[in-house]
Structure 1
Amino acid sequence: MHGCVASWCPPKYPLGTLVYRTVLGAAAPKAVIPENHPLAPRTTSLELLASEPFLLFDLAPAGEYFSGLFEDRDLHPRIRFRTRSHQLLLDLVAQGLGCSVVSQAAAAPAGVVVKDLADELRPLPILALSGARVRLTRRAETFIEHCRAALSSQGSRR
C-alpha cells in the first residue's frame, strides 16, 4: 500500500497541495460509559456527559475535535484525565473512572457500553491520504475501495 494511509483530518489542519485526499466515509462520535453507570441504560447526550467525570482522548487533532463538540454547545466537561491512548481511555472507562466520547469503539473491553449520542453532531470525516504526485498501486486502490465498502456497510447497519 505504498503511498497511502487511512486517516482523518479536520479542515482546520490543511494538508496542502502535496497530499491527495480521498473521502472514505464519516464516523459519528459515540459515548463510552461504564456498564454499571446510571447513564448506561439511558439515552445519552453531551449535556449529560458534561456533568460526569470526563476522560478526554487528547491526541491531536482528535482532542480538539472532541473538546469542540462540547464548546459548540457552550458545555464544559469536567475533564478528569487526558490520554493519548485509545485503549487506555477505554480501560479507564471500564474501571468506572469516567465517561468519554470516541470516534470508534469496535473493540471496547468488557465493562464498557458504547452508545449513540442523542445530539446532532458533525461527523468525523475518514480519509485516505496519499502524496499528490504519487500514483497509487493497484493494491492501494483496492485497499481504498475495501475501506469505502466497509464504512458504507457499517453506516447501513445503524
Structure 2
Amino acid sequence: MVITLRQLEYFETVAEHGTVTAAAQHLFMSQSAVSNAIADLERQLGVKLFVRHARGLSLTREGQAVLGRSRHLLREAADLEANAAKLRDDMSGPLNIGCYSTIAPLLIPRIVADFAERYPDVRVRFEEGSRSELLQGMTLGAHDVIVLYDYRFKDDLSEIGHSTQLGSIPPYALLPPGHRLAGRGVVALADLAADPFILFGLEPADQYFLSLFASEGLSPDVRHRTGNYEVLRGLVARGVGYSLLTQRTRQTTSYEGIAYSAAELDGEYAPLGVVAVIPSRHRMTRKLDAFVTSARAVFDEAPAYDRG
C-alpha cells in the first residue's frame, strides 16, 4: 500500500470545502482526478472517509480520525521541504570534492583559498584520484562533487550524476631539451611517433593519448608508462623520451629543475572538456553553485601555458 501526499492533500481539501466540485476548483484539478484520488485513498486505507448526501460530503468518524493524521503528515512534509530549502541555501558545513589527479594542482589550491576567504563556515575537503576511484567514491557517497575530464569514449557520467562544463584543455607535447624539434613551438605527431614515447598511464588518460596517434594512423614507441606526471616531466627533461599531456605548469622544468621544451600539436585535436559531476540524488545547493562558479573562473582566467 502506497499513500501519496497528493492523495492526502486532495482529501484535506475535500473535507474543508465539502464537495468535490469546490475542492477541484480550489486545486485547479478536474473533478474526476479528485474523485479518483479519494476513492483510491479509501481503498488503500480500507475505510469509508465520507458520507455522500445531496448537499455534498461529510466526514465519517473514521474520516475525522484520518483527517487529523493527514494534517499532521502534511505539516511534517511542509516542514521537511522548508528545512531542505534551508539546507540548500546554507553556506556552512562540509563540501567534499573529488578531483582527478592531474587537474587537482591547478584547481584545488584556488578553490580552498577562495572558500576560506569568502565562505569561512564551509569546510572544504578534497581527495585526488583516478577516474575510476572518483566514480566509485561518488557511488559510495564520499563526494558531493567530482571534477574530471569528459572523455568522448566514456559515456557513463550521465548514469551517476549531472555534468556541468567547467572548461576545456587541449593536449600538447613535452620534448627533451636536446630534441631535434625542441623550440619549434608546433610539432606533428607523425614527426614524433618513431621516437621513444613516455605514456601518461593514469586511466583513462592512456587511452586518450593513444587515440591521438590512432586518429593519424600512427603507433607510438611506448618505452615507459607512469601515472605520476612529475615523474613523466623528469623523464622527458632527462632526455629519456617525449610525451603528451594536457595540464601544464607555469615553468617548463622538471621536479629537479631541469628544463624541457613544450610544443603545441599540429592538427585538429579537440580540447578535453573538464566537468563537475554532481550525484543524481543531490540538488544544486548554494555551496555547489559557488564551487562551480569558482572552478569555472580557474579555467577562464588561466593563461595559455596553464591550460595547454
TM-score normalised to structure 2 length = 0.48
Q: 1:149 and 2:297 equivalent? A: yes
CA deviations 1:53-91 (Å, max 9, x no partner) are: 110011211000000000011011111111111111111
| Higher RCO by CA contacts (8 Å cutoff, separation 6 or greater) | 1
CA-atom RMSD in angstroms? 2.0
Contact 1:105/1:114 (<8 A) preserved: no
Q: 1:115 aligns with which of 229, 239, 263?
A: 263
* 1:100 Cα deviation after fit: 0.6
Contact 1:4/1:136 (<8 A) preserved: no
Equivalent in the alignment of 1:7:
148
Secondary structure, aligned partner of 1:21: strand
Write the distance in 2 (CA, Å) between the matches of 1:24 and 1:131. 16
Contact 1:4/1:131 (<8 A) preserved: yes
Say how many residue pairs are matched.
158
Distance 1:69 1:145, change over 3 A: same
Contact 1:9/1:61 (<8 A) preserved: no
Contiguous gaps of at least 5 residues in structure 1: none
Write the distance in 2 (CA, Å) between the matches of 1:136 and 1:57. 34
CA deviations 1:12-67 (Å, max 9, x no partner) are: 22224321111111110011111222211123111112121110011211000000
Write the distance in 2 (CA, Å) between the matches of 1:114 and 1:144. 30
Q: 2:229 aligns with which of 65, 79, 86?
A: 86
Q: 1:71 aligns with which of 214, 217, 222?
A: 214
Task: Select between 3-12 and 64-73 the one with higher mean Cα deviation.
Answer: 3-12
Write the distance in 2 (CA, Å) between the matches of 1:37 and 1:11. 32
* 1:145 Cα deviation after fit: 1.3
Contact 2:175/2:182 (<8 A) preserved: yes
Higher-strand-fraction structure: 1
Higher-helix-fraction structure: 2
Larger gyration radius, structure 1 or structure 2: 2
Contact 1:55/1:98 (<8 A) preserved: yes
Q: 2:159 aligns with which of 12, 17, 33?
A: 17
Task: Select between 17-26 and 97-106 the one with higher mean Cα deviation.
Answer: 17-26
Secondary structure, aligned partner of 1:89: helix
Distance 1:136 1:103, change over 3 A: same
* 1:155 Cα deviation after fit: 6.3
TM-score normalised to structure 1 length = 0.89
* 1:8 Cα deviation after fit: 0.9
4+ long deviations beyond 4 Å:
155-158
* 1:111 Cα deviation after fit: 1.5
Alignment of 1:40-55 (within 5 A): 40-42=182-184, 43-55=186-198
Write the distance in 2 (CA, Å) between the matches of 1:6 and 1:155. 20
Write the distance in 2 (CA, Å) between the matches of 1:19 and 1:62. 21
* 1:149 Cα deviation after fit: 1.9
Contact 2:173/2:264 (<8 A) preserved: yes
Write the distance in 2 (CA, Å) between the matches of 1:124 and 1:155. 16
Contact 2:183/2:263 (<8 A) preserved: no
CA deviations 1:118-151 (Å, max 9, x no partner) are: 2211211111112112134433322221221221
Amino acid in structure 2 at the alignment position of 1:72: S
